[in-house]
Structures are given as C-alpha cells and as structure tokens.
Amino acid sequence: MIAGIVLFCYGLAPLAGALAKRYSWFRFRSRFSELRLHPIMDSRAYWQMEAGRQAGGAQAGGAPMGGAFRFIGELESLSDEPALWVRGEGLLVPVSLKNAETYLLPAQSGEGIPETSDPGEEAPEKIRWEKIAALAEGTKVFVGGKMALQDGRWCFVSTKESPSVVIFYDGPDHSLATKAIWAGRHRGEYFNPITPYALIIGALCLLFVAAAYLPRPAFRPTVLVSVVALFVPLFPLVPPGLLFTVAYRRLTWRSRMLRAYSDLAKLPLRYFAEEGCGRQRRSGPRRKAGDSLLRERRALPNGELYGFACSAKLPPEVHEGKIPMLIPEITELGEGESWHIFGAMRPSDLLPFRPKDPFATFGVLPGNPRSFALRCAAKAYALETVAWLMMLAGIALNVFFLRLVLSVLL
C-alpha cells in the first residue's frame, strides 16, 4: 500500500501533469507555426472580404466566415465582451477573446535565438483577461485565427476546435517567430500544476497510514517506512544521489536545447513540399565545393518568392552580420554537407535577403535541415532517457544508504 501511494502520488500523477504540460506547449508551437503561414490581414485582404460579402459570398446560415489570417498591430483599446481592438496595416480590427489563447512573451533584445541559454527559461505566459486589461496602450500584438462578420464588422473569432492565438510581445516583428518557437516549452516539467496537489495528498495518505498503525507495536516497521516515504520527493536533493541529480539536470538542459534546435530547423521547411527542401535531387548538375546553388523557391502568402541557396562555405555576409546564424552553436560542417541559407529571393540574386513577411525564416541552417532536425530530435529523446535513468539511479542509491543506516541503528 505504501509503495502504491508513493508510486502514484510522487510518480505517476506528476508525470501525467508533465506530459499534459509538454503537450500544451507542443500545441502552442504547432498552432503558431500553422498560423504564421496564413495570409496577412491588410487593407487589400480586408476589402476583398468586404467585396465578397457584398457580392453574396457569405456562407448560408450562421456568421459569415472570411477565412484564416494573421495580423500584427498595436493594442488600441479594450471592450467589456471581452474583446480588444488592434490597430495595424491601416486597419482597426476587433478581436474576440472568447475561447482564444492569449500569451505574454517576455521582452528580449536582439533577434534570432534569445540571449538566455535555456529554452523555456522565459516561456510565454498564458494570461487571463485581468492581466490583459492592465497592459498599456500601444503594446505590440500578434493575432492569428479565423475572421467572421459580427455586428457588421469583420472580427477575429475562436472556436474550441480552432482557437485564435493572441501574443503580446516586444521587439522586432521578424524575431517573433523564432523567439516564440524557442521559448515555447516548459523548463521543469515535473513541477507542474498537478504536482503540489499530488505531493500534499501523498503526504496526507502516508501520515494517515503511520497514525493508523502507530498504536500497534508489531507494525512499527510499517510506521517507520511511512514516515521515511514522506521524504521521497527530497531524495534527489540529498547526497550521494545529488550527484546523479546534477547529471540529470545537465542532460535535460541539453535535451531541451536539441529539441529547440529541431523546431527551429523545421520552421523554413513548412514552406516547401515534402519532395522539396532537404531532399537530394536525382538529376541536375553536381555542384562543386564552394559553389552556391539555388535549390528551391516558393511563393509566400504576400506573393514574395521564398527559397534557399546551398553553399559549402559560409558567405561573407554571415561573418558581417547581414545574415543571421539560426543555430549559432554550430560553426563547422561535416564532410559533404552544405550550409542552407533561407530568405526571399530574386532571379538575379545568388543569396537570399530578408523577406518582407516578418514570419518567413531568414538565416543560415547547418547541413540538410530535415536531417538536422531528425538528428537533434533523436539525440534529445536519447539524452532524456539517460537523464531519467540517472535520476532513478540516484534515488535508488539514497534508498540503499538509508536502509543501511537504519539497519545499523535499529
């Protein structure tokens, strides 16, 4: 019975909370990555929807839908619905917050990967209406979701199946996608909203067991085990198992880094078909070392051509800071690999440049992006498995020493 209480309250319940927390951040990254591919809501798109509505293009029954869009602007004002008004692209657009997911992204300086060396250290904070009402006018806002006609105006709306995503942020618009994907993960997944309740319930159950058997001298070992089991959550913090906990924290930190690298490498791949970026072609001229070769181009939602070039060496523009390194940690490639430079392209240009679309990835990735992402993900899961084995080994070591001490004292 004691083992069951410890296993459930100190192990399975926090683990379930950790998996739920990880899945929620996975949904955030997936939803944001999906929304950034939709067209930008601007004056042209707005009046096209309006013209379609006047021409009878609205859906029969229910609120007329105008499609999915993304919108960048500044917070203008709030209403009591709850809803907010966002001004940008020459428009003033209402955003219904019913069923919407709202986040506050901590301020970061610069662009690309944030200065913090730990993904999730400054994760976006999911906020409620009370905190939104305290935000200052002029705060930058990203809105992504479906638009519908409400009270004669086009408005961002949410459903349970397709919630809008609202992110309040600071800094350059073109760095929002990278920062959101990098930081959108939980740092300490064991300590989640379920953990405190599970620990309290587990402690109360063990105290109840100890109190129930305390009057019976024959069950003194049961009482002792119950009291010791109360402190199982502290075992990873006690020597000699503490050394294994330090190794666990180091390995999980590296695992988070690799998962973040994998997500960053996938960002530009969303613009290309499966047979496009990251797959070797069966035909065409072979490129020589040092050559730069245009491989793929695709049209962005704003009509801009987006693509990448391959180069065996880093172009001088990278060293000059004109093209950012998306994975600054990696500065050298293996034999036969090439750098992939992503960005907007013109037919006459050899190298990409920064796209006008602020959410289109611009920068250099090491090697084949698809293979790089898969390698990082595989290494991350392997390191995480080893980390948990180290944690369990540390707990087992402390239990062994505790039993040894008790056997000497009793």
Are 223 and 375 spatial neighbours (Cβ–Cβ below 8 Å)? no
Which amino acid, residue 302? N
Angle between helix 369-409 and 242-266 (nearest 10): 160
The answer to whether the CB of 146 falls within 8 A of the CB of 156 is: yes
Give the C-alpha separation, 323 to 94, whole Å.
36
The residue whose two tokens read 């392209």 is 345
pLDDT tens for 210-260 read 999 999 888 888 998 899 999 999 999 999 999 999 999 999 999 999 999
**Please, how many CA atoms are within 13 Å of residue 231, restricted to the half-sphere of its CB?**
10
Q: Using CA atoms, how far apart are residues 268 and 368, in angstroms rounded to an integer?
A: 12
Distance CA 16, CA 354 (A): 42
d(CA 291, CA 295): 12
- Listing DSSP states for 40-96 in one string gives B--HHHHHHHHHHHHTT-SPSSSSPEEEEEEEEEEEEEEETTTEEEEEETTEEEEEE
Mean pLDDT in each 10-residue stretch from start to end of the chain (410 residues)? 92 92 93 92 88 64 69 92 90 93 80 60 86 91 92 88 93 90 83 92 95 90 90 91 94 93 92 55 38 62 89 89 88 85 86 92 92 95 96 93 82
Backbone phi, then psi, for 335, in 5-degree steps?
A: -65, 135
DSSP 336: T
pTM, two decimal places? 0.85
CATH numbers and ranges of domains, the chain? 39-183 (2.40.50), 266-374 (no CATH)
Contact 114, 122 (CB under 8 A): yes
Backbone angles phi, psi at 205, to 5 degrees: -65, -40
What DSSP element (H or E) covers 242? Answer: helix 242-266
Q: What is the pLDDT of residue 1?
A: 86
DSSP structure string for 110-165:
SSSS-S-SSTTTTPPEE--HHHHTTSPTT-EEEEEEEEEEETTEEEEE--SSS--E
Nearest 10 degrees: CA dihedral of 11, 17, 22, 25?
A: -160
Helix axes 194-213, 13-35, angle to 10 degrees: 170
In the 8-state DSSP scheme, what is residue 174? G
3-state secondary structure of 273: coil
CA distance 126 to 114: 19
User: Could you give the CA distance from residue 311 to residue 352 in angstroms, rounded to a whole number?
Assistant: 12
Sequence-distant (6+) residues with CB within 8 A of 231 are none
φ and ψ at 214, to 5 degrees?
-60, -40
